[in-house]
Amino acid sequence: MADLEAAMLARHPSVLPKHLIMLAASGIAYENGKILMVRDLQGFWAGVGGWVDPGETPEQAIVREVREELGVDAAVVKHFRPFIAWNVRQQEPPVSFLLFPHRIKLSSFDVALDPAELSDVAWVPPEELDGYEMLPPIRAIYRDRLSEWLA
C-alpha cells in the first residue's frame, strides 16, 4: 500500500510548514447608517465573524458565527470578493487569513452576547470607527475595504 503522506513529505519537504492560511468569514451588518461591531474578551473591536469549519461554506460559517456569538439569525444579502490578509499573526509559521466578507441582515437587534467570546456590541457610525480600539490588521482591513462594503 502506497504511503501518500510520506510521499508528499519526501517530494515537498520545504512547503511544510512555510505559511499557514486560515479561512475566515466576516459579516458586515449596516443599518440606519451604523455598522455592527463586537468587542472581544481582550478589549478589541471588530465585525462579527470567525473561522470556516471543515465541510461548511463561508456563507454557512458567518450565519453560524452570528447565531453563536449574538444569539440571533442572520441572512447573507451580498457576497464580497474574498482576499488574503497577510501575516495577521506574527509567529512561526506566519499566519494569514483568507477572508470571505458578507453583507448580512440580522433577524433582530435584540442580541444576546456569548460571554465566552464577546464582551460588548455597538452600532457605530463609520466616521467614528477611529475611536474604537482595533488590532492593527483589523483596522487596516476596515480602512482599505469599508467603502466597498458599504456601497
**Cα–Cα distance measured from residue 112 to residue 13, given in angstroms and rounded to the nearest whole number:** 47
**Cα–Cα distance measured from residue 84 to residue 44, given in angstroms and rounded to the nearest whole number:** 21
pLDDT one-digit tens code per residue, 67-89: 999 999 999 999 999 999 887 66
pLDDT one-digit tens code per residue, 35-44: 999 999 999 9
Listed by start position, the domains of the chain span 19-108+118-150
pLDDT one-digit tens code per residue, 74-127: 999 999 999 998 876 667 778 888 999 999 999 999 999 999 999 999 999 999
Q: How many CA atoms lie within 13 A of 79 on its CB side?
A: 8
pLDDT number for residue 96: 85
pLDDT at 5 over 80: no
Query: What is the homologous superfamily of the domain 19-108+118-150 according to CATH?
Result: Nucleoside Triphosphate Pyrophosphohydrolase (3.90.79.10)
pLDDT one-digit tens code per residue, 10-55: 665 565 567 788 999 999 999 999 999 999 999 999 999 999 999 9
pLDDT number for residue 21: 86
**Cα–Cα distance measured from residue 128 to residue 134, given in angstroms and rounded to the nearest whole number:** 12
